[in-house]
Amino acid sequence: MSALEDTAAVLKMDALEFFLKNLQFTKRGEVYAEELKIAADLIGYKQKAHPRGDPNNRPHQARNWHGNAHMGRPRPSVGVRRDD
C-alpha cells in the first residue's frame, strides 16, 4: 500500500480517496469500494488519518518481549497433514 500512499501524497490527495478513484481498474471495484468505505467508517479513518509528510504522523512504538513470552513454558507445536 505504501507506493499508492506515496502517489496520493505527491498528488496532495487523501490515500483512501485515491484508492477509491482507482478501483475502476480492478475486476471487483464495486465490492472493494463498499468494503473500504465500511472499514473506514468502522475505524474512524477520517478522524485518524494523517497524510504522509504530516509532522503529526508519528510511527507507533512496537512492543517487543524479546522472546521472553514463553520462558518456563513449553512452546506449542503445529503439524500439517494432507487429507486423503
Q: Please state the pTM of the whole predicted model.
A: 0.58
Q: Is the pLDDT at 2 greater than 90, yes or no? A: no
Distance CA 41, CA 48 (A): 11
Non-local CB neighbours of 64 within 8 Å, separated by 6+ positions: none
Tens of pLDDT, residue by residue over 14-41, are 999 999 999 999 999 999 999 999 999 9
Dihedral in degrees, nearest 10, Cα atoms 50, 58, 40, 8: 50
The predicted-structure confidence for 45-82, as pLDDT tens digits, reads as follows: 988 887 777 766 665 544 445 555 555 666 667 777 77
